[in-house]
A and B are shown apart, each in its own frame.
Chain A
């Protein structure tokens, strides 16, 4: 168990809908990252938050957004869902940022299926 908790584990929804994925980082970790894993694109970095502030954006679509709350949990919002958004969404957390605190630990993931 990595200590990173993601809910829900599975989600099935229809095209055009909106969903919210939730992540609780390891105790003491300030950085939260979201990754998307699909068969054709592999593991792709979406976005990073550090202590409530957005730090970096990767290949995140405009239909997707995220935030990190004062208690450090994070939510990833996916809207206007398309079939191609079906994937495993992982959250990871690390102590902080910088050379010493970069080790990232992954949650179990949320499997999103868009039908």
Chain B
């Protein structure tokens, strides 16, 4: 089955700086890679996703890049703000076979220092 590794487990950055979270996956068949943000005690919320037919996707201050050859993908947050503080999870799955439960990384606790 799929295995997703996520680094770092904790990331502390100054407000206004950029944050980068990296994930690797093991199953070359995986073709859908979402990122979720989870605030304390709340549900995971989808913030951005990328499919294997593109290398990069942006949405305002958030971007995700995918390197299929190396089997890794990254989340980039620019101009970080206090409300970006949360736990971020990457995930991977093969979407197309009718069974697409997500395999998640262990999460990154992002701390934005004022």
Contact = CB atoms under 8 A, between A and B. Distances in A.
Interface of A: 2, 31, 33, 35, 42-48, 50, 55-56, 58, 90, 97-99, 102-109
B32 A106 contact: no
Contact of B45 (A33, A44, A106): A106
A106 B44 contact: yes
Contact of A33 (B36, B42, B95, B101): B101
Contacts of B42: 108
A46 B104 CA distance: 12
Given A43-B102, A99-B96, A108-B42, 18 more contacts: A31-B100, A33-B101, A35-B102, A43-B104, A45-B102, A47-B101, A48-B100, A55-B98, A90-B44, A98-B96, A98-B98, A99-B32, A99-B95, A102-B95, A104-B34, A104-B102, A105-B46, A106-B45
Interface string B77-107: 0000000000001010101111111111111
Nearest to B49: A103
A17 B78 CA distance: 48
A42 B104 contact: yes
B31 interface: yes
A26 to B, nearest CB: 12
B43 A106 contact: yes
B46 A104 contact: yes
B15 to A, nearest CB: 28
13 contacts: A42-B106, A43-B44, A43-B102, A43-B104, A45-B101, A55-B99, A56-B101, A90-B43, A98-B96, A98-B100, A103-B46, A108-B42, A109-B43
